[in-house]
Structure formats: structure tokens, C-alpha cells
Structure 1
């Protein structure tokens, strides 16, 4: 019987709690990037070639590294943007349904 512990993947800290020395968190940096100029549109308009989208996410990795956050990677950032978009769409659909505006399309999503 072996006493060795099975490999456990280290979990990254939460996106909103990983700021270094009271600096911005990964989430704050990502939201700032998304809301600046046409960054979201550039990310959203990429083709289905995964490297194209990951190259854009590397910009965010660099911004995070400039703030001392070194544990985020382009693939995880891409996934996080997809999660944020899904959450936004779900909330928008809920509000539209609650208001009776089921056919309304938000201009933020269309760009």
C-alpha cells in the first residue's frame, strides 16, 4: 500500500480575488479590456481558428502580467470571456422576458 498522494491539480485563485499588492484582479483587468474601444468586437469577430482568438487573449495575459498576475493563460482567459458572455446573455434574456420585451436585441452584443 503506497502512502504517496495522488496528483492534485493546483487551483488558481478566484478571478476577483487575485490582485497583487492591492492592484486590480484578473476579473477587473479583463472587464477593463473588454470595455475598451473595440476589443470585445475583435475577440468576437475572430474565425473558428483557435489560434486567432488565443492571440488576442495573449494581450490580456500581458496586461495581467504587468500587474503581477502570472497564473492566467490565454486559453483560460478565452474561456472566461465565453462565460461572461453567456452570463450576460442569460441576464439580458431574463430582464427582457420580465419586461415583456422578448424580441429586443441589446446593441452591446451586436457591437
Structure 2
């Protein structure tokens, strides 16, 4: 993924933001989607939409209720050491848009979007 990204996105800082966000989404899928050693797939797709790169990380795991997600309270540094919540928080800080579709028993898809300069433009 990193090698392909380096051939299409010319800004190294934005590439780093994208790679970090994708890593967080994949780690979330690895740790939370499949419970008790259950095996499952994680799909990674990326495309271009105008001046944005769109990356979708999806799994068919247990899913979660997005309404119950609580972001860490960084003003008081409470919750930042929790085992959950940081990945989504980091993605939202680094990407221009983050959308999560999930439901219990339905799996999860994380949509990441970032405005970038593409090589050749």
C-alpha cells in the first residue's frame, strides 16, 4: 500500500497521514472485529474522487454501535490511555473526512478521505 501510495500522492506529510490512518483502521479491525481468535478478512480499497484520495477499510466482523463511541477527552488527557477510542480519534485528526458504517453483527467499513496533489496534476 505504501509503495503504491508513494507513486500517486506527491506530498510526503499527507502520505504519512494516510498511512497512519489506514494502519489505525486495520489495527482496529484486527483487535475488535474478530473475537476469540476467530479468523476473518480485512479489505482495503482506494480510489480517486476529484482531488481526494478515498480509502475504505472493511471487515465482516462483529461490528459495533457507532452511537456509543466516545472520543477521548484530550483537554484533560482523560481516556487517552483507554484501549479503545484512540484509533478513530487519530484518524479524525489526520484525515479530512472519516465516516464509519457499522452495526452489531454486520461488520465495519471505515471511509477515509484526504485532499492531495496527485503526481501528474
Give the TM-score normalised by the residue count of structure 1: 0.32
Larger Rg: 1
Tell me: higher relative CO, structure 1 or 2? Use CA pairs within 8 A at least 6 residues apart.
2
More helix by share: 1
Higher strand fraction (1 or 2): 2
